[in-house]
Amino acid sequence: MLTLNDLEATKTPEDVQGFIERVKARSNELEGEYTGRQFDEPAQEEFADLGDLSKRAVERKKEFEARQARLLVLAGDERHVERSGIDLASRGPRAVTKLPDNLFDIPEYRGRTSSETAMRSLMVDGAKKIAEQAFYPHEAATPERSVARIHKLLALPVPDRQIENGFDPSVLARHMMATGSPDYHRAFAKVLAFGPEHLTERERAAIATVGTTTTGGYNVPFQLDPTVILTSDGSVNPLPTIARVEQLNVGNTWKGVTTSGVTASYGTEAVAVTDGAPSFGQPEVTVRKAKALIKFSIESDGDWPRLQGEMARLLQDAKDTLEAEKFVNGTGSNEPEGVLYGIAAAYNVGTTGDGFDTGDLRVLTTRLGDRWEPRARWLAHRAVYTESERLDHAAGVSSDYRPLAAGEPLGLLGYPRHNSSAMESDFTTAAGRVAIFGDFNQFLIVNKIGLTVELIPHMVNGDGNPTGERGLFAYWRNSSVVLVDSAFRVLTIGVVTTGI
C-alpha cells in the first residue's frame, strides 16, 4: 500500500510523476475490483487516502518545478519569466463542467460526485461523449450507427439498487473508458507486437483499469468490439437485427417474464368480474462461451492503424459465421438454441404435395395466429425465394417481391423477407423445414458485452515450426432461445397437410 513516506522519498519532479502514476494505477485497480458495486469500508478508506496522496503529490511536483524555474531565472534564462502586461481578465470566465477534462480518467468521476448513483450517471454522460469522439476502424461501422447504438444502450436507466436485468449502463460506460483510452490503445498494440513486458507505467495503469482474465486475456478496445458496435449488414445472419435482443454486462444469466396476456370482458353492472389473470412464464437464458482463432503475420502487427481495421473485420466475420448457424440450428446444449431447432414440431405446416410450390407459402401465412401476424416476417435460404419467384413467373402470378418501403428488405406476400445461409436450401427433401414465418420478437438473443482476446506469440505448423504468424484466441458470450413457439409456423416438405 502506498503511503506518505513513499511520497516523501521522491527527490525530483520525475520521481513524483512516477509516484502519481502508481497512485493512479492503484486507484484503477480498486475501481476494477469493485465494478458495478459500492466500495466496502476498507476500500473506501484506501481510495480516499489515494486521493489525498495524489493531491499532495501534485503540490510536491509543482514545488519542485517552481524551484527549477527559479534557478533558471536566476541563471538569466528569460524563457521562464512571466511577461507583464497580460490582461488576465480578457481571457473571460473559465467554463465550468462536471465532466473531467480527461474523459477516460475513471477515478476522477468518483472524486467529482458525492454518491455512487451520481458517479454512475456522470460516467454515462462521459461515455456518450467518448462515443461521439471515437474513431471506428471497421469499414462497415459507420460513426452514425455506432454512436446511435451506444447511446441507446447508455440511455437505459442507471440502477441505484441491485441489478435485476443483468445490464447496468454505468458498467458499459466504465468499459468504454477503460478500453477506449489512448493509453489502453497503445498498451493493446504493444501487447500484440511485443508482449506485456514492454509497457510503460502509464500503459500498465491502463491495463490495470481493465484487468486481465485469469488466463491472461485482454479486452478488445470497444471501437473494435462487435459485442458493442454493430458492423454486420445482416445479409447472411439477419437474426440479430430482427429478433428480440437483450444485453448483459453483469452476471451470465438473463431472467425475463412471458405471459399469455390478460383476458378482458364486458359484464353487467355490479356483477363480479370474471378472473382474467394471465399465466406467467419465467425464462432464464445463460450465455454460452463462443471462441475463434485469428491469425496475423508478425510483420503486420507493427502497423497498428491497418491491423486494427483488419482485426475488427475478422472479429465480426468470425462472430457472424458462427452465429449464422447456431442462431438457426443450435441445439441449446452448451450453445444457443436456434430458432428453427427450438420451434416444436407441432407448429410445422406440411406442403400440399410431395414438393414445394408458392401455394404452400400462402397456406403458411393463414396458419399463424392473428396475434402474431402484424409483426410477422419470413426467414429462409435465398434459394427458396428464388424458386418462389421462378414458379410465380412461370404461372403468370406475382407474390410481390419488391421492397415494402424505403430501407426495408424485399417482401414476400406483403411481409418482409430475410435471407439466412443456415436455413435449408434443398426444398425437395422430405421433412425438410425450409421456411419460417412468424413474429421474431418471440425469439430472444442475449449478448454479454465485452469480447476478450489472448495472444499466442508464435503460431506453429504440424511439425512444430514457427509460421511467422501470431494468433489471437478470441472469445465472447451469448445465447438464444425461442420464447413462444406458437408465434411461428414452419413450412415442412412432405405430403402431410396438417399443422396448427
User: Do 61 and 12 touch, CB atoms closer than 8 A?
Assistant: no
Q: Which three cell numbers stand for residue 103?
A: 474523459
Q: Using the predicted structure, report yes or no on whether residue 68 has a pLDDT greater than 50.
A: yes
pLDDT at residue 353, rounded to an integer? 67
User: What are the phi and psi torsion angles at 419 (to 5°)?
Assistant: -85, 135
Confidence at 94, pLDDT banded by 50, 70, 90: very low
Q: Using the predicted structure, report yes or no on whether residue 190 has a pLDDT greater than 60.
A: yes
Euclidean distance between CA atoms 337 and 311, whole angstroms: 28
Residue 252 lies in a domain: yes
Interval 134-149 mean pLDDT: 83
Taking each continuous run of H as one helix and of E as one strand, the counts in the chain are 14, 15
Reduced DSSP (H G I as helix, E B as strand, rest coil) percent helix, strand, coil of the chain, to 5 = 45, 20, 40
- Angle, nearest 10°, between helix axes 201-210 and 182-193? 100
pLDDT at residue 84, rounded to an integer? 41
Cβ atoms within 10 Å, residue 254: 23
Our count of domains for the chain comes to 2
pLDDT at residue 82, rounded to an integer? 47
pLDDT at residue 448, rounded to an integer? 92
Euclidean distance between CA atoms 373 and 486, whole angstroms: 11
- Angle, nearest 10°, between helix axes 13-33 and 201-210? 10
List 418's β-bridge partners, or say none.
Answer: 379
Q: Using the predicted structure, report yes or no on whether residue 192 has a pLDDT greater than 70.
A: yes
End-to-end Cα spacing for the chain: 68
Q: Which helix (H) or strand (E) holds 293?
A: strand 288-297
Residue 150 lies in a domain: no
Q: Using the predicted structure, report yes or no on whether residue 290 has a pLDDT greater than 90.
A: yes
Percent of the chain with pLDDT over 70: 82
User: Do 218 and 188 touch, CB atoms closer than 8 A?
Assistant: yes
318 closest CA partner among 185, 453, 212, 409: 453
User: Do 239 and 441 touch, CB atoms closer than 8 A?
Assistant: no
Cα R_g (the chain), whole angstroms: 29
Q: Distance of CA 449 to CAs 224, 253, 372, Å?
A: 12, 13, 30
Residue 350 lies in a domain: yes
Cβ atoms within 10 Å, residue 325: 17
Q: Which helix (H) or strand (E) holds 478?
A: strand 469-482
Residue 240 sits in a domain whose CATH number is 3.90.1690
Q: Which three cell numbers stand for residue 459?
A: 503460431
User: What are the phi and psi torsion angles at 43 (to 5°)?
Assistant: -65, -40
Residue 61 lies in a domain: yes
Residue 102 lies in a domain: no
Q: Using the predicted structure, report yes or no on whether residue 79 has a pLDDT greater than 50.
A: no
Euclidean distance between CA atoms 167 and 93, whole angstroms: 40
Secondary structure (DSSP) of 407-459: TPPBEETTEEEEE-TTS---TTSTT-EEEEEEEGGGEEEEEEEEEEEEEES--
Q: How many CA atoms lie within 13 A of 64 on its CB side?
A: 16
Residue 191 lies in a domain: no
Residue 490 lies in a domain: yes
Euclidean distance between CA atoms 130 and 172, whole angstroms: 12
Interval 242-261 mean pLDDT: 82
State how far Cα 461 lies from the chain centre: 34
Query: pTM of the predicted model, to two decimals?
Result: 0.75
Last residue of a domain, one of 47, 80, 113: 80
Mean pLDDT check: name the lowest of 147-151, 261-265, 311-315, 469-473.
261-265
Confidence at 289, pLDDT banded by 50, 70, 90: very high
238 closest CA partner among 300, 324, 347: 324
User: What are the phi and psi torsion angles at 48 (to 5°)?
Assistant: -65, -40
Residue 74 lies in a domain: yes
Last residue of a domain, one of 30, 56, 80: 80
Contact residues for 317 (Cβ-Cβ < 8 A; gap 6+): none
For the chain, the average pLDDT equals 81
Q: What is the DSSP letter of 91?
A: G
Last residue of a domain, one of 57, 80, 103: 80
Range of the domain at 230: 213-257+278-500
Interval 108-127 mean pLDDT: 87
pLDDT at residue 367, rounded to an integer? 92
Cβ atoms within 10 Å, residue 67: 11
User: Do 340 and 423 touch, CB atoms closer than 8 A?
Assistant: yes
CA angle in degrees (0–180, nearest 5) for 327-328-329? 105
Q: Cβ-count burial of 173 within 10 angstroms (0-12 exposed, 13-18 middle, 19+ buried)? A: buried
223 closest CA partner among 319, 134, 105, 132: 134
Q: Using the predicted structure, report yes or no on whether residue 325 has a pLDDT greater than 90.
A: yes
List 296's β-bridge partners, or say none.
Answer: 470
User: Do 472 and 311 touch, CB atoms closer than 8 A?
Assistant: yes
